[in-house]
Amino acid sequence: MIHNAQLIKQGAEAKVYLAPFCQRQTIIKERFTKAYRHPTLDKKLTSRRVVQEARCLSRCQKARIDTPTVYMVDTENYLIYMEYIEGCSVREYLVTPEGQTDAAQTKVAQEIGRALGLMHNIDVVHGDLTTSNLLMRNETGGSVVLIDFGLSYVSQLIEDKAVDLYVLERAFSSTHPNTEAMFEQILKAYGESGKASKQILKKLEDVRMRGRKRSMLG
């Protein structure tokens, strides 16, 4: 039990709390153990995921990619203590477009593309890119912060990075109608900031094609 904690999200894999820690508001992410798994195996897998998430967050932070700072990792209790980002998600931003200018939306798209390009440059694959996992930091006037590295891993494969982009593209098209132009701007900025981004964007076309074939076959 985390003292003075407020539960802000209960997911299938983790609980996310907001709680005071070292005199600041802190996000505490707690992974569950799975009762259907053998206890020893379960402990190993759950703590491995906690470590994996914290490692990918730290790897991004070292490369100056805006992600929550990790304050502490408790592998015994499967907890990550991290910086609380005050702001709204890109999802919330896009579902309430009133008063947004094209220039503001372009800036957000460019920031997303640039952040993803830098993340892939250091071989971090996010694994769960959605508009809910992109936050806009109030403090800096809405700069984009990547969160939820629960499914992230390190890979040099062009294919893995292309699939990462495809997952975000699907999230855009299923959640936000009429954002094709914005997604194009994301890819343009991505193409300008990544080392192998041209190859990855080429591979994205194959991944899309496979996705289309799969949905045609049902």
Ligand X SMILES: Nc1ncnc2c1ncn2[C@@H]1O[C@H](COP(=O)(O)OP(=O)(O)OP(=O)(O)O)[C@@H](O)[C@H]1O
**Residue positions annotated with a catalytic role:** 128
User: Of 13, 92, 205, 206, which lies in the binding site for ligand X, with binding defined by CB under 6 A?
Assistant: 13
Q: Which is nearer to ligand X, 13 or 192 (CB)?
A: 13
Provide the CA 169 distance to its chain's centre, in angstroms.
Answer: 13
Long-range contacts of residues 75-78, Cβ cutoff 8 Å, at least 24 apart: 75/47, 75/50, 75/51, 76/47, 77/30, 78/30, 78/31, 78/32, 78/33, 78/46, 78/47, 78/50
**Axis-axis angle for helices 102-121, 180-193 (nearest 10):** 40
User: Of 32, 71, 84, 153, which lies in the binding site for ligand X, with binding defined by CB under 6 A?
Assistant: 84
Q: Which is nearer to ligand X, 176 or 203 (CB)?
A: 176
Q: Which is nearer to ligand X, 48 or 198 (CB)?
A: 48
**Least gap, CB of 73 to ligand X (angstroms):** 14
Strands (E) across the chain are located at: 6-10, 14-21, 24-31, 70-74, 79-83, 87-89, 124-125, 134-137, 143-146, 153-154
User: Of 54, 82, 108, 125, which lies in the binding site for ligand X, with binding defined by CB under 6 A?
Assistant: 82
Binding flag, residue 11, ligand X (CB under 6 A): yes
Binding flag, residue 8, ligand X (CB under 6 A): yes
Q: Which is nearer to ligand X, 83 or 169 (CB)?
A: 83
User: Of 14, 125, 187, 207, which lies in the binding site for ligand X, with binding defined by CB under 6 A?
Assistant: 14
What pairs with residue 15 in β-bridges?
10, 30
Q: Which of residues 104-163 bind ligand X (CB under 6 A)?
A: 128, 132-133, 147-148, 150
Are 59 and 154 contacting, i.e. CB atoms less than 8 angstroms apart?
A: yes
Residues that bind ligand X (CB under 6 A): 8-9, 11, 13-14, 16, 27, 29, 68, 82-85, 128, 132-133, 147-148, 150
